[in-house]
Amino acid sequence: MLAVLRNPTYRRLFTAQVIALVGTGLATVALGLLAYDIAGAGAGSVLGTALAIKMVAYVGIAPLVGAVADRLPRRALLAGADLTRAGVACALPFVHQVWQVYLLVFLLQSASAVFTPAFQSVIPDVLPQERDYTRALSMSRLAYDLESLFSPALAAALLSVVTYNGLFTGTVAGFLGSAALVLSTALPNRAASSARSGRRTRPTTGMALFLRLPPLRALLALNLAVAAASAMVTVNSVVYVRETLGLSAGAVPLALGAYGAGSMAVALALPRLLDRVTDRTVMLRGALPLAAVFGGLGVITAAQDGSWRFPALLALWAAFGAACSAVLTPAGRLVRRSAPPGKRTAAFAAQFSLSHGCWLLTYPLAGWLGATAGLPSAVVVLGAVTLGAALLAVRLWRVPGTAVEHEHTDLRSGHPHLDGATRVAAGWRHRHGYGVDGLHPVTRG
């Protein structure tokens, strides 16, 4: 898997991604401490609101970026997003009011909503061979998982010698380092650009792809299944460890680490696996077992005592991480194959926006149900959401070759492929066995 790092362009971009992730992790810890300084016991509500603002920025900004990104210089766009994040991080130590925290969080996350989809759309052009691109996706998944484990430990070490304001300095350094690496990298030309074709990409272009193409519709359902499972882990880990199991605060990182370990194990195994089986097989078989994991969680939740519960919780959290990674890691391959090159940035922006829209729904649902109706209700409802979404994905993602009704919006009248097609407002609609060719850029996986 590390062989892809031999590509100097990808190596620089991957390093930039890792450095920026570490900076983001340090900022997350520092923001928590800043919120406590400002709001005291109300810090939880401040951070909860900040998390909601983050998701709103992701959902709202990414499609707008996808509409214009293909007409902007790639390096300038990526470096500009990094420099914006660095500037916001510079201002955070001078914040003294809650509304200032919210404003800066919105600016910070809006810049991230610019950087991430644009970065994701560059990698397929840097690594055009699917085998290499698959390994790059696994590397990216590992980077996210390692950041979630490494950044808190680094922050703890830094806090032993500096105040939390010093963490913002590390954040600034991370974003500046990422910008420097991006600016020093020669990026390949776009495979095809909407700007060169004379067509403007609309903010809804990526969304339209997800609604029109069967595998991308299935990906949207899979995003919801993953969001329900990961929200249970992210929001309620501390409740399970502290309240249900009565353990110390030091056990919380172990639980979150188990989730990360499961995710990393699958990310490491996927490159070889995807050489032999399709994306469809891996992603659906990753999503469907999530309901069974929720069933096991229901047993732990209902149990009144027993020393076995914490090891069982760690195993379930690792299973959640493994299943979610099996869905999320190949998602980039699916988007890359399904979207024409000129619409690729818009498609990645739509995936970024829609997936975070699912988290915007499931995060408060997990927290509200756990706090008001109790953890058993949260397990039942989120488990039902996961199962329903996974089954919907199976129904939407048909076996390759199945006749599928679809539309063509970019073929002229009289094109031979449109024989028997019906004219609709957006183009032409017809039905036939759906496979990969120049007219149907949808994966067989």
CB 338 within 8 A of CB 208: no
Residue 443: per-residue pLDDT:
42
Q: What DSSP string describes 41-84?
A: GGHHHHHHHHHHHHHHHHHHHHHHHHHHGGGS-HHHHHHHHHHH
CB 273 within 8 A of CB 320: no
In sequence order, the β-bridge partners of residue 407 are: 429
- Domains 7-188 and 201-397 fall in the same CATH topology: yes
For residue 314, list its beta bridge partners: none
Q: Give residue for tokens 């829209």.
A: 357
For residue 373, the 8-state DSSP code is I
DSSP H or E stretch at residue 429: strand 427-433
Helix ranges restricted to H, 240-250: none
CA distance 107 to 134: 32
pTM assigned to the model: 0.77
Residue ranges in 185-330 assigned as alpha helix (H) = 194-197, 205-212, 214-239, 251-274, 279-287, 290-302, 309-328
Domain boundaries, the chain: 7-188, 201-397
Of 391, 349, 59, the residue nearest 225 (C-alpha): 391
69 touches 116 (CB < 8 A): no
CA distance linking residue 125 with residue 10, whole number of Å: 10
Distance (Å, rounded) from C-alpha 252 to C-alpha 250? 6
Give residue for tokens 């499931």: 362
**Look-up of token digits 């408060």:** 364
Q: Taking the chain (445 residues) in consecutive chunks of 10 residues, what is each chunk's mean pLDDT? A: 83 90 80 75 66 82 74 86 92 86 88 86 85 86 77 70 79 92 83 46 70 87 95 86 82 83 91 89 94 94 88 95 94 84 78 88 86 90 96 85 69 72 82 56 45
Q: For the chain, how many residues are written? A: 445
Closest CA to 335 of 70, 56, 124, 60: 124
Q: What is the pLDDT of residue 195?
A: 41
231, HSE (Cβ side, Cα atoms, 13 Å): 31
Using CA atoms, how far apart are residues 169 and 164, in angstroms rounded to an integer?
9
pLDDT of residue 295: 95
Q: Can you tell me the distance from the alpha carbon of 436 to that of 445, in angstroms, rounded to the nearest whole number?
A: 10
Cα–Cα distance for residue pair 341/435, rounded to 1 Å: 18
pLDDT at 42: 65
Q: Alpha helices of 200-241 — where are they, by DSSP H?
A: 205-212, 214-239
Q: What is the CATH number of domain 7-188?
A: 1.20.1250.20
Architecture of domain 201-397: Up-down Bundle (1.20)
Q: Which residues contact 163 (CB under 8 A, 6 or more apart)?
A: none
pLDDT given at position 437:
45
Q: Which of 223, 246, 265 is nearest to 357 (CA)?
A: 223
pLDDT of residue 432: 65
CB 358 within 8 A of CB 227: yes
Total Cβ atoms within 10 A of residue 278: 16
The first and second tokens of residue 283, run together, are 């992603």
CA angle 105, 109, 113 (to 5 degrees): 165
Would you say the C-alpha torsion 281, 286, 289, 290 has a positive or negative sign? negative
Cα separations in angstroms, 300 against 154, 247, 296, 407: 32, 14, 7, 48
Q: Please, where are the H alpha helices in 69-193?
A: 74-91, 98-126, 130-159, 165-183
